[in-house]
Structure 1
Amino acid sequence: MKGSPRSDRIRGRIREVIASHLTRNIQDPRLHLVTVTGVELSRDMRIATVFFTTASGPDAQADALKGFESAKGFLKRNAAKDLGLRYMPDLRFRHDDSFDYGARMEKMLKEVLTDDQREDDHGESDDAPEPS
């Protein structure tokens, strides 16, 4: 959903500020190798959902969620200072499944292509006329 220019700007700034604090100020090992991929704001700008990915598997996702919940107050307080907003939205954290979905689709497409190539290779050798 397309928001107003102001909400788009705030979403981008929240993403930048949280990503910056993750790399510079957060020492929690659960949040290493975490990438902030985006932020969605509710219409009233009271809730900011922060999307993230991890370099590891599902266990790392659960650990990262726990790490974010632990660091939520710190992130909100410091983001509010950095952004200069009158009201800082409440932060919620969610794993971004879009990258996993894209990787699964790419894998499926590659499998279909290799299956088609195998069928073409077999089809050509079976249907090809024998040399005389």
Structure 2
Amino acid sequence: MRKNSIKNTRINTEVQRELSNILRGGIKDPRVAPMTSVVAVEVAPDLKTCKAYISVLGDKKAQEDTIKGLQSAEGFIRRELARTINMRNTPEIKFIMDQSIEYGVNMSKKIDELTRDLKDGDE
């Protein structure tokens, strides 16, 4: 995989910030969960496509509904992105569910349970 240039890294950061603002304040779709966050954004070097990694606090159904809601609102999100960020091309956004935060929370719970069990076994 090619290493990101400084320009591409700055674009990724700016797009992530603006996507977060748009999701927080502009989406009226009831399918989009209120606890939705943009974990990471990867904009292609030609600025044509963008992968937005989304994390949703909730169950599996809430995650699926949020992705469907974001996909249906992609036109609105692209228009708002074009309005707020001055780029040559406004990228086509593909929303991808990111499970890393949920995975981290589950691993933390398992570690806590294991350490608690070890303490109980020592006594």
TM-score by length of 2: 0.88
Tell me the secondary structure at the aligned position of residue 96 of structure 2: strand
Q: Residue 87 of structure 1: CA displacement?
A: 1.1
Q: Which residue number corresponds to residue 94 of structure 1? A: 96
Q: Which residue number corresponds to residue 40 of structure 1? A: 42
Q: Residue 66 of structure 1: CA displacement?
A: 0.6
Q: Which amino acid aligns with 2:40?
A: G
What is the CA–CA distance in structure 1 between the aligned matches of 2:110 and 2:99, rounded to whole Å? 17
Gaps of 5+ in 2: none
What is the CA–CA distance in structure 1 between the aligned matches of 2:114 and 2:45, rounded to whole Å? 42
Q: How does 1:19-38 map to 2 (within 5 A)?
A: 19-31=20-32, 32-38=34-40
What is the CA–CA distance in structure 1 between the aligned matches of 2:101 and 2:4, rounded to whole Å? 23
Higher helix share: 1
The CA RMSD over aligned residues, in Å, is 1.6
CA offset digits 1:57-85 (Å, max 9, x no partner): 11110000111111101111221221111
Q: Which residue number corresponds to residue 58 of structure 1? A: 60
- Number of matched residues? 121
Q: Does 1:17 align with 2:18?
A: yes
Gaps of 5+ in 1: 122-132
Q: Residue 91 of structure 1: CA displacement?
A: 0.3
Q: Residue 116 of structure 1: CA displacement?
A: 1.1
Q: Which amino acid aligns with 1:23?
A: R
Q: Residue 38 of structure 1: CA displacement?
A: 1.6
Q: How does 1:49-128 map to 2 (within 5 A)?
A: 49-121=51-123
Q: Residue 43 of structure 1: CA displacement?
A: 4.3
TM-score by length of 1: 0.83
What is the CA–CA distance in structure 1 between the aligned matches of 2:39 and 2:30, rounded to whole Å? 19
Q: Residue 98 of structure 1: CA displacement?
A: 0.7
What is the CA–CA distance in structure 1 between the aligned matches of 2:44 and 2:110, rounded to whole Å? 34
What is the CA–CA distance in structure 2 between the aligned matches of 1:12 and 1:110, rounded to whole Å? 34
Tell me the secondary structure at the aligned position of residue 104 of structure 1: helix
Tell me the secondary structure at the aligned position of residue 31 of structure 2: helix
